[in-house]
Amino acid sequence: MNERFWHNKRVLVTGHEGFLGSNLVRALITLKCKVTGIDKVSNRGLSVLNGIRGGFSGIKLNLSDLPGVRRAVARCRPQIIFHLAAEAIVGRAKKDPLNVFKSNVQGTWNLLESCRGNRNIAAVLVASSDKAYGTALNLPYHEDTPLKGRQTYDASKSCEDIIAQSYFYSYGVPACVVRCGNIYGPGDFNFSRLIPDAIRSALKNRQFVIRSDGTYTRDYVYVDDVISAYLMIAEKMRSDNLYGEPFNVSDEKPQSVKGVLKAIEKVLAERTKKPLIKNRAHDEIRDQYLSSKKIRKMIGWKAEHSFEEGLKKTIEWYKEVL
């Protein structure tokens, strides 16, 4: 990471109150950036940003408001944009498709439209997901795997991904796409996700409920490693001509649900309650994991934290918070 590159850079982060966004803002403040955040929520009660909110400017704004987004971009004059704002919970997306399409699809085109023709902007990094690929016969997913999201959330990420690339190829907006697996680490207060819920259950000596049969596999990548990938891509967007490129970000060591629970038990060094396996998962892709060969080859990124190391840091943080 090139600290000199970031000094005094004007950076815009959408979704700065979310899990990844709040951790990224912390990192950018440490790098002495001039950070502006956009989020439909302001001053979230539980956040890793508590205590450092004076170090950046937050704008309460829904990205579905195009005039508002245009004003915000004009006001903060960003050089780098990290577009992380999204409806990120699959269950909520299933229940409210209009909201997820407004957040993930309309919000993305509104932001990119607000960047069109703006010569101050050197890089726009759009957060996609492994879900954008949908179900594939051959794993791991590579960046040239077709985007075939079928369920509501998956389809929204496929659309967001394609729109981001279209704005580069059609209008020269300096955008690229980052596709991550499941991100975990300090600051994730959404306990509908596997790792936060499993850690909370273990710390409170509760029985954890597995919706599936426990063998479904996913990527799990530590939040600091994801942030380093975003920063490295942004640094090299112009010098290495990365515009329009998609990048997978993964530690390339997929875990099953049962494997995650065993790993948590190992880190805690104590027995946890046997999970309840309901085996009632519906509309879920059984196996999803990514190849990070491209980002490793093109910019030299790789995950620095093993799964056990990431879990140790995450569990220690939850112990303090819970």
Identify which of 223, 112, 224, 102 has the alpha carbon closest to the alpha carbon of residue 176. Answer: 112
CB 167, CB 289: distance < 8 Å: no
Which tokens sit at 188? 């994730």
Task: From the candidates 153, 220, 230, 318, give the one annotated as an active-site residue.
Answer: 153
Which of 67, 61, 73, 74 minimizes the C-alpha distance to 17? Answer: 61
Pull the structure tokens for residue 88: 């990120």
**Cβ proximity of 295 and 249 under 8 Å:** yes
Catalytic site residue 153?
Answer: yes
SS3 state of residue 94: helix
CB atoms within 10 A of CB 132: 25
What 8-state DSSP symbol labels residue 16? T
Burial of 176 (0-12, 13-18, 19+ CB in 10 A): buried
Residue (of 72, 90, 89, 93) closest to 81 by Cα position: 72
Two tokens at 35? 């950070």
First CA to last CA distance, the chain: 33
The two beta strands, 276-277 and 209-210, are parallel
**Catalytic residue numbers, as ranges:** 153
